[in-house]
């Protein structure tokens, strides 16, 4: 009999180890937090746009969402500080834009914003191989092409910002109203952003129905849920020429104040010009209702009404509430107007009632308002509204929103319509609220300085 072959125990042991390793890859994947090294949160725009996360920018068409992304991109390419003064680390930007043409829209806007265009890229399409061996180009899809997006970041490792505008154009066959499908679509995108430490800024539109601002993004609530920060671009109710950038959701920082901007078009190319200071409105103030586009909403009317009521000094809260009911304004709307104006509420005495006043608004020669007199009666008697001094029960809707225009007032009402003209600089405004915003932000002084 021949000798029996000796088993190759080394091969057997290696095979057994491989089988154990394969079994270990199945089932839940766990980590101890003691094995996880803590990392500092990093920001593209400190407090507003985080690195390694998804940020959503929502708003109605035509308000300047894409222009805001252009402005942010320009600052990133130059390392220029952000509008609120926050520092910006220089880097590159990648655009996925399905609505604006790269040559006649995006490039001129980047130039107008002062961007270093050598640091800006656009992903136009994905080149794929067909079954017959030929190559073809297809539209990028978040459903199938995240790997190609990572390849683009491999080629340009200095990219710090990816702009997806609009997000709805890159969903592929995903149902935008299905929470499960949207979460499944955005999860790989969020994971890629985390691996690459890039900020992904996605632009989308608003649904038409009113409601809480976080629910206004069109499609599934999963869009807003997946984003770590959500910002809204909305019209300024007090100034038709102004736009607001307001926080809707911020999971990673304290809520940053809103900001205002205007859209300028020197030479025919639109760009953003930011206003100084912050905005004391919330996204829910502006997006919670539907009466935003034409005229004044109930809230903006309440702002103007309350400003007029408090113009001469403090007024008892009970009197304000009574006057609001007479004016047909809900108390909730008046309270939102109070917050928007920065009205200060204090007790008149230790045991006294609450009074509201405009901060730094009372003139030295102002007289206290008689809390027993109707504000509208007082206005009628002082300005002879509608030429009838004897009408004491005049309906508020028929009372001019302008005060009596004496020498101390710096605007004059239009002879026809609700507009007025600033007597200091000559600029015309569609509403008195627009003029008051103009004065409160000292634009006349700025123009005098420029002159």
Run of H or E residues at 13:
helix 9-24
Q: Residue 94: inside a domain, yes or no?
A: yes
Last residue of a domain, one of 230, 262, 287: 287
Same domain for 388 and 411? no
Last residue of a domain, one of 256, 287, 318: 287
Q: Is the pLDDT of residue 116 over 70?
A: yes
The C-alpha atoms of residue 45 and residue 199 are separated, in whole angstroms, by: 9
What pLDDT does 438 receive? 66
Q: Residue 92: inside a domain, yes or no?
A: yes
Same domain for 140 and 204? yes
Same domain for 221 and 334? no
pLDDT digits (tens, 9 = 90+) for 168-184: 999 999 988 888 899 99
**Structural domain harbouring 201:** 43-287
The C-alpha atoms of residue 82 and residue 75 are separated, in whole angstroms, by: 7
Residue with tokens 């430490």: 197
Same domain for 91 and 240? yes
Same domain for 299 and 417? no
Residue with tokens 């009317």: 301
What pLDDT does 215 receive? 67
Query: Which CATH number fits the domain that encloses residue 125?
Result: 3.40.50.300
Q: Which residues contact 278 (CB under 8 A, 6 or more apart)?
A: 84, 257, 258, 259
Q: Is the pLDDT of residue 193 over 50?
A: yes
Q: Which residues contact 386 (CB under 8 A, 6 or more apart)?
A: 394, 398
pLDDT (mean) for 19-47: 85
Last residue of a domain, one of 237, 258, 287: 287
- Range with the largest mean pLDDT of 6-20, 23-37, 57-71, 299-313: 57-71
Q: 62 to each of 69, 108, 119, 200, 205, how far by Cα in Å?
A: 14, 18, 27, 22, 10
The DSSP line for 89-143 is: ---EEEEEESSS-IIIIIHHHHHHTT--GGGEEE---EEEE-TTS-EEEE---TT
What pLDDT does 387 receive? 40
Using 50, 70 and 90 to split pLDDT, how confident is the model at 164?
very high
Q: 319 to each of 239, 284, 293, 358, 372, how far by Cα in Å?
A: 28, 27, 31, 15, 8
Same domain for 140 and 64? yes
Structure tokens at 4: 């029996």
Same domain for 263 and 146? yes
Work out the number of other CB atoms within 10 angstroms of the CB of residue 27.
7
Four-CA torsion 79, 82, 87, 91, nearest 10 degrees: -30
pLDDT digits (tens, 9 = 90+) for 267-318: 889 999 999 988 888 888 887 654 444 334 567 778 888 888 888 788 999 8
Same domain for 342 and 271? no
Structure tokens at 406: 């004496």
Q: 297 to each of 237, 309, 433, how far by Cα in Å?
A: 7, 18, 12
Number of domains in the chain: 3
Q: Residue 1: inside a domain, yes or no?
A: no
pLDDT (mean) for 63-74: 96
């Amino acid at each position: 009999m021949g000798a029996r072959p000796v088993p190759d125990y080394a091969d057997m042991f290696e095979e057994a180890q491989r089988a154990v390793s394969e079994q270990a890859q199945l089932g839940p994947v766990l980590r101890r937090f003691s094995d996880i090294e803590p990392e500092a949160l990093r920001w593209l725009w400190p407090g507003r746009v985080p690195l390694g996360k998804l940020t959503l920018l929502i708003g109605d068409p035509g308000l300047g969402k894409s222009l805001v992304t252009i402005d942010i991109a320009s600052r990133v390419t130059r390392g220029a500080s952000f509008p609120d003064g926050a520092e910006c680390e220089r880097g590159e930007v990648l655009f996925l834009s399905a609505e604006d043409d790269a040559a006649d829209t995006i490039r001129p806007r980047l130039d107008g914003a002062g961007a270093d265009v050598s640091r800006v890229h656009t992903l136009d399409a994905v080149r794929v191989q067909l079954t017959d061996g030929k190559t073809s180009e297809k539209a990028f899809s978040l459903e199938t092409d995240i790997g190609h997006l990572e390849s683009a970041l491999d080629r340009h490792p200095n990219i710090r910002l990816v702009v997806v505008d609009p997000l709805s154009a890159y969903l592929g066959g995903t149902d935008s109203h299905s929470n499960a499908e949207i979460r499944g679509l955005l999860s790989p995108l969020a994971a890629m952003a985390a691996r690459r430490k890039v900020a992904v800024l996605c632009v989308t539109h608003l649904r038409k129905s009113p409601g809480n601002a976080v629910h206004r993004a069109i499609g599934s609530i999963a869009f807003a849920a997946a984003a770590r920060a959500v910002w809204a671009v909305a019209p300024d109710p007090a100034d038709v020429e102004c736009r607001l950038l307001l926080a809707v959701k911020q999971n990673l920082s304290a809520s940053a104040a809103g900001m205002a901007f205007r859209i300028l078009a020197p030479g025919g190319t639109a760009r953003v010009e930011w206003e100084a200071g912050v905005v004391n409105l919330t996204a829910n103030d502006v997006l919670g209702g539907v009466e935003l586009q034409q005229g004044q909403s109930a809230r903006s009317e309440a702002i103007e009404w309350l400003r007029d009521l408090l113009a001469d000094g403090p007024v008892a809260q009970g009197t304000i509430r009574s006057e609001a009911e007479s004016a047909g304004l809900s108390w909730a709307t008046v309270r939102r107007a109070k917050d928007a104006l920065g009205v200060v509420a204090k007790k008149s005495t230790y045991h006294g009632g609450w009074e509201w006043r405009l901060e730094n608004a009372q003139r030295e020669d102002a007289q206290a308002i008689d809390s027993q007199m109707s504000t509208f009666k007082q206005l009628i008697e002082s300005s002879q509204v509608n030429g009838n001094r004897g009408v004491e029960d005049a309906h508020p809707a028929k009372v001019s929103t302008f005060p009596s225009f004496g020498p101390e007032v710096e605007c004059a009402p239009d002879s026809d319509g609700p507009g007025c003209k600033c007597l200091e600089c000559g600029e015309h405004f569609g509403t008195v609220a627009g003029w008051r915003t103009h004065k409160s932000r000292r634009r006349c002084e700025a123009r005098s300085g420029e002159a």
